[in-house]
Amino acid sequence: MQLSPNSGVPDELVHVEFEGAELNSRVLNTFRCLIADLCGNFKGGHPGSAMGMAAIGVALRKYVMKYTPEIQSHTCLFQYTFLHLVGYKNMTFEQLKSYHSARTDSICPGHPEIEHDGIEVTTGPLGQGIANAVGLAMATKHLGATYNKKNYPIVDNMTWCMIGDACLQEGVALEAISLAGHWRLDNLAVIYDNNQVTCDGSVDLCNNEDTNAKMIACGWNVIDVHDGSYDIEAIVRALMAARNNKDKPTFINIRTVIGIGSQSAGDSKAHGAAFGAEDVANIKRTFGMDETKHFQVSDEVYALFRDSKPRGRQIETNWNQLLKSYATAHPVLYEEFMLRVAGKLTDDWANPTPSRKSSGLVCNPLAENIKSFMVGTADLSPSVNMMWKGKVDFQHPGLKTSCGINGDYSGRYIHWGVREHAMASISNGLVAFNKGTIVPVTSSFFMFYIYAAPGIRMGALPGLQQMHIGFHPINS
């Protein structure tokens, strides 16, 4: 089903006080000129998509996302600049200007890394971010099904994922998209920055498929926004429709213009290079900014995001109060939940297990008793022997399979299908949800982990805690 941006939004969600069109325009213009200046300062970088996505960033950070700019939240300047505007204390203006520099104290590398408070995952190669997002949404569903009780929705967040044209061409993206649709992860929204440009040129050089039709076929809702460059209200309505959807994950197809305002707007030249002094001056003239000044951000622009901190603190306070009441109403579950939030194991995890029970398998007795473990395999359950007695499968509770193997979101055994790459990359998202709360254990024949290597690498670099168990020698 395709939705318009104005459908599927209940009245209580539409009552948003939007800023005036003139102020929004000045904020977008300022953001785009700042991106051009930052890339000009480095004499490189990727300005085009960040400029094109400015309105999406305002819609998310100002009107839709629930976050506090004091804890965690390839278009890195899009992230860094909005982290600065909403008030993350370490993302100072001086830090912004260190983008891509050789400074040892810089927290603005060319690819965002998880060490910064506002960066939730180190996504690395294209396509990994989509899989990570599926893992984050999956973690929410699992924890909610395990610990939420009536009147106590302690884990119920949305996952918002920004992608571009190139991300959708990666195989791991389609593997992850397929699983998200199969599991009906309605707490996941993928926002497609559709500028129809990749590094080599226009997308139709190598791809002319109907992306919306593909997403629908994979079990997603699809929402179109035709003016993603300026129509903040339409974007907000689309995002809220995604949040209100209680059936499927949502794909929001937003048409943007890469490098908007520059002489190479809409062209691949805007993708991965600074514009040069002459064009930066032209961009500023186009957007009504002083071409002789650099790094201009007025108090008016900062004021638009000034309520981010108090709003976020109130959301955090409300959640802490809910958790306190939950502790009284459900003390046993609360204790277990807090152990998992802290990344600790239950007190009895080290009790000895007889070898006859484990039958030579290390993980099964652990997975049976340690709620943090989520175990799965890429369509090799009979061969790898990772199942335990009484295991529940992670599945949408409404799914009734032909083979009779069913489950629900509380399940901790995962049927990944023949998707080794997504298995490893989605596991990174499961871990990144909160350190130690979920410990994924994947299994397959060793040879097939070659398919999963990029995902395993991106889990190892930021130190995400998980296990990958390979069976048989590589030449088997």
What per-residue confidence (pLDDT) applies to 12?
45
pLDDT at 473 over 70: no
Structure tokens at 431: 């871990």
Q: What's the average model confidence in pLDDT over 55-68?
A: 93
What per-residue confidence (pLDDT) applies to 349?
55
What per-residue confidence (pLDDT) applies to 348?
56
Long-range CB contacts (< 8 A, 24+ apart) of 79-84?
Answer: 79/112, 79/118, 79/119, 80/108, 80/112, 81/31, 81/34, 81/35, 81/38, 81/50, 81/57, 82/57, 83/116, 83/118
366 and 292 co-located in one domain:
no
Q: What's the average model confidence in pLDDT over 41-53?
A: 92
pLDDT at 54 over 70: yes
172 and 276 co-located in one domain:
yes
Structural domain range at position 360: 355-471
301 and 362 co-located in one domain:
no
pLDDT at 298 over 80: yes
What per-residue confidence (pLDDT) applies to 442?
96
293 and 368 co-located in one domain:
no
- pLDDT tens-digit series, residues 169-189: 999 999 999 999 999 999 999
Q: What is the pTM of this model?
A: 0.90
Note if 316 is an active site residue: no
Q: What's the average model confidence in pLDDT over 274-284?
A: 96
Which candidate in 120, 170, 175, 420 is catalytic?
420
What per-residue confidence (pLDDT) applies to 118?
84
Does the residue 374 lie in any domain?
A: yes
Under the banding of pLDDT at 50, 70 and 90, the label for residue 5 is: very low
- pLDDT tens-digit series, residues 94-147: 999 998 888 888 998 888 888 888 888 888 889 999 999 999 999 999 999 999
273 and 212 co-located in one domain:
yes
224 and 84 co-located in one domain:
yes
The residues facing 223 across adjacent strands are 3, 252
295 and 364 co-located in one domain:
no
Helix axes 420-432, 171-183, angle to 10 degrees: 70
pLDDT at 301 over 60: yes
Under the banding of pLDDT at 50, 70 and 90, the label for residue 14 is: low
Domain end among 271, 306, 341: 306
Domain end among 306, 321, 338: 306
Q: What's the average model confidence in pLDDT over 286-309?
A: 95
Decide: 449 and 419 in contact? Cβ < 8 Å.
Answer: no
How far separated are the first and last CA of the chain, in Å rounded? 46
CATH number for the domain that contains residue 394:
3.40.50.970
302 and 359 co-located in one domain:
no
Which range, of 108-112, 167-171, 437-441, 451-455, averages the lowest pLDDT? 108-112
Domain end among 306, 332, 367: 306
Does the residue 350 lie in any domain?
A: no
Which residue spans within 310-436 are E strands per DSSP?
Answer: 373-377, 393-394, 407-408, 413-415
pLDDT at 70 over 80: no
Q: In the chain, how many domains are there?
A: 2
176 and 245 co-located in one domain:
yes
Does the residue 467 lie in any domain?
A: yes
18 and 103 co-located in one domain:
yes
Does the residue 146 lie in any domain?
A: no
Radius of gyration of the chain (CA): 23
360 and 275 co-located in one domain:
no
- pLDDT tens-digit series, residues 157-171: 999 999 999 999 999
